Amino acid sequence: MTTQPNPAAMQAAAADGNANLFVTLRGGFPADLDRTAIETGDGPPLRYSWRDIERSTAMLANLFESLELPAGARIAVQTEKSVEALLLYLAVLRAGFVYLPLNTAYQSSEIEYFIGNAEPSVVVCSAKNFSWISRIAFSAGTAHVFTLNEDRTGSLLERAAHHSDIHEPAQRSRDDLAAILYTSGTTGRSKGAMLSHDNLASNARTLQQYWGWRDGDVLIHVLPIFHVHGLFVASHGALLNGSKMIWFSKFDPRKVVERLPDATVFMGVPTLYVRLLAEPGLTREACRNMRLFVAGSAPLLIDTFREFEQRTGHTILERYGMSETAMLTSNPYRAEDGERRGGTVGFPLPGVGVRIRGDDGTLRTDGEIGGIEVSGPNIFKGYWRMPEKTREEFTDDGWFKTGDVGKIDERGYVHIVGRSKDLIISGGYNVYPAEIEGYLNEMEGVAESAVIGAPHRDFGEAVVAIVVARPGASLDPASLTAQLKSKIANFKVPKQVFVVDDLPRNTMGKVQKNLLRDQHKGLFADA
């Protein structure tokens, strides 16, 4: 059965008090639903209209409703990037359940933890992983495991095809959960950041205004859709503005450069800009129709910022955010709001509070460096089933402690100068040394280890492990690397492993990672 959704009715629904994020996003769809919403940039050439989004998310949402899941049920998804994977996300919102995206690089022990911790009612995975993921899911009590492949096959779409393409979005209040994003912990295991419909909707609206989304915008979408940047910032921006997306399942700099003349907006982590700059085709001419390049998720080197400006005539707009908070600060889009300053992450977004707390515990207004604390409608609701951890990460007056270290200069620009959390950001992915050290320390013959980040031209930082053998044991770096590869996501695996006699320690016995970082800072100078 087909439906003729009425745009006016959709707009009205957006205003009827239903805080469901899907309703907010749908409120931005254009009046002409037959216009192209998404076209593929790689793989088979496909076009999806706004009506296709409306109908297919309705069918998927009806499928989920037919499963009679408990209220607040989590739907965990580990699939390759595809337009259907985005539709699945939107359908979960539409049906009022909680979306839980998982990085495709995660291996079985990581997946086991996430599924065990989140207890999803439904898991969706690629068919190639069905046997091991379904075993983990069913033993954790998951009721349904569906498959979804990048070529649009799998049991999820087969089942959804039997459902109606008319669906009334579930009524949700502002604080109801829309998504849980797992973010690694400084000690031990990952924490699930709980984001509400309003956390995400308010941030999307703010960015729509601040970044001047307008009619005729076309977004090149290249980022993975299991993190804030690709899933929320990029996709929400285009959907809420009724703007077309050119959808890439994987980042390929050459193909992106070819499509730049057809687009106006691009978003990427710094590694993507480094790789774009390596393309001779990246010229002013190629960027003639572009109006906005956004970078974030990791520090953008000033050299990259400048080189990009010289080559393309465009000044990258750098912004700062987190899984727990969505977007917090942004360099200005409009010239009248100020210049875009490389090496800074700009101003707090409208409605967002940013303040600095010095080492002595006092709030600093004098441009001094300290811990960055934030507040606003975008700040998450806490860590899933970790009330203690949640309490620790908020101040008594309700501000969230980001774990980033920075300052606010005299012109109001926020600078991030470091992190109080022991964290490596490699190609936009977070890697917590404590997690890798935990795996290494359990391996046969390993006495102890220290994991650090070393500067890397492509990835920004690269993971390096320094390992000490037990007395009498001999360790082979290649074998340690191979063992890690079988256990953890590939981007977390150290690019280099060193076996040493001992680790440098201070008088308190604490490993001096700063000395190790210094020692290995030139390791990837030629990378």
**Contacts with ligand MLC, residue ranges (CB under 6 A):** 223-224, 227-230, 250-251, 269, 271, 296-297, 321-322, 426-429, 459, 490-491
Residues 6+ apart with CB under 8 A from 116: 136, 140
Does 322 bind ligand AMP (CB under 6 A)? Our answer is yes
Residue 358 to residues 279, 320, 363, 371, 422: CA-CA distances in angstroms? 43, 20, 6, 6, 18
**Least Cβ distance, residue 427 to ligand MLC (angstroms):** 2
Tell me the backbone φ, ψ of residue 272, rounded to 5 degrees.
-65, -35
Does 427 bind ligand AMP (CB under 6 A)? Our answer is no
Task: Check residue 269 and report its DSSP letter.
Answer: -
Round to whole Å and give the CA distance between 226 and 34: 28
* Strands 36-40 and 244-247, sheet pairing: parallel
* Residue number, 62 or 402, with CB nearest to ligand AMP: 402
Per-residue binding string, ligand AMP, 346-385, x by CB under 6 A, is: ----------------------------------------
Round to whole Å and give the CA distance between 65 and 75: 12
* Residue number, 62 or 183, with CB nearest to ligand AMP: 183
**Least Cβ distance, residue 310 to ligand MLC (angstroms):** 23
Residues 225-254 close enough to bind ligand AMP by CB under 6 A: 228
* Residue number, 212 or 343, with CB nearest to ligand AMP: 343
* Residue number, 404 or 435, with CB nearest to ligand AMP: 404
Does 416 bind ligand AMP (CB under 6 A)? Our answer is yes
**Among the listed residues 183, 241, 249, 271, the single contact to ligand AMP using CB under 6 A:** 183
Contact indicator for 136, 108 with CB cutoff of 8 Å: yes
What's the distance, CA 102 to chain centroid?
10
Does 297 bind ligand AMP (CB under 6 A)? Our answer is yes
Stretch of residues binding ligand AMP (CB under 6 A), selected from 194-202, 233-241, 297-305, 358-366:
297-305
Round to whole Å and give the CA distance between 372 and 277: 32
**Least Cβ distance, residue 46 to ligand AMP (angstroms):** 30
* Residue number, 27 or 237, with CB nearest to ligand MLC: 237
Residue 299: name its binding partner from ligand AMP, ligand MLC, none (Cβ under 5 to 8 Å by kind).
Answer: ligand AMP
**Least Cβ distance, residue 302 to ligand AMP (angstroms):** 12
Residue 480: name its binding partner from ligand MLC, ligand AMP, none (Cβ under 5 to 8 Å by kind).
Answer: none
Instruction: Concatenate the DSSP letters of all residues of 317-357 into one string.
Output: EEEEEETTTEEEEE--SSGGG----TTS--EEPTT-EEEEE
SS3 state of residue 171: coil
Q: What is the 3-state secondary structure (H, E, C) of 348-390?
A: ECCCCEEEEECCCCCEECCCCCEEEEEECCCCCCCECCCHHHH
Contact indicator for 228, 181 with CB cutoff of 8 Å: yes
**Least Cβ distance, residue 352 to ligand AMP (angstroms):** 14
Residue 404: name its binding partner from ligand MLC, ligand AMP, none (Cβ under 5 to 8 Å by kind).
Answer: ligand AMP
Does 180 bind ligand AMP (CB under 6 A)? Our answer is no
Residue 230: name its binding partner from ligand AMP, ligand MLC, none (Cβ under 5 to 8 Å by kind).
Answer: ligand MLC
Work out the number of other CB atoms within 10 angstroms of the CB of residue 24: 22
Contact indicator for 25, 240 with CB cutoff of 8 Å: yes
**Least Cβ distance, residue 226 to ligand MLC (angstroms):** 8
**Among the listed residues 37, 220, 345, 424, the single contact to ligand AMP using CB under 6 A:** 345
Residue 345: name its binding partner from ligand AMP, ligand MLC, none (Cβ under 5 to 8 Å by kind).
Answer: ligand AMP
Does 195 bind ligand AMP (CB under 6 A)? Our answer is no
Instruction: Concatenate the DSSP letters of all residues of 250-261 into one string.
Output: S--HHHHHHHGG
Q: Which residue is nearest to ligand AMP (CB)?
A: 323
Stretch of residues binding ligand AMP (CB under 6 A), selected from 43-51, 164-172, 315-323, 454-462:
315-323
Stretch of residues binding ligand AMP (CB under 6 A), selected from 160-168, 321-329, 375-383, 468-476:
321-329
Round to whole Å and give the CA distance between 223 and 106: 17
* Strands 353-357 and 218-221, sheet pairing: unpaired
Residue 419: name its binding partner from ligand MLC, ligand AMP, none (Cβ under 5 to 8 Å by kind).
Answer: ligand AMP
Round to whole Å and give the CA distance between 59 and 46: 20
Stretch of residues binding ligand AMP (CB under 6 A), selected from 302-310, 316-324, 461-469, 505-513:
316-324
Which amino acid, residue 286? Answer: A
Round to whole Å and give the CA distance between 123 and 134: 8
Binding site for ligand AMP (CB under 6 A): 183, 228, 296-299, 318, 320-323, 345, 402, 404, 416, 419, 425, 430
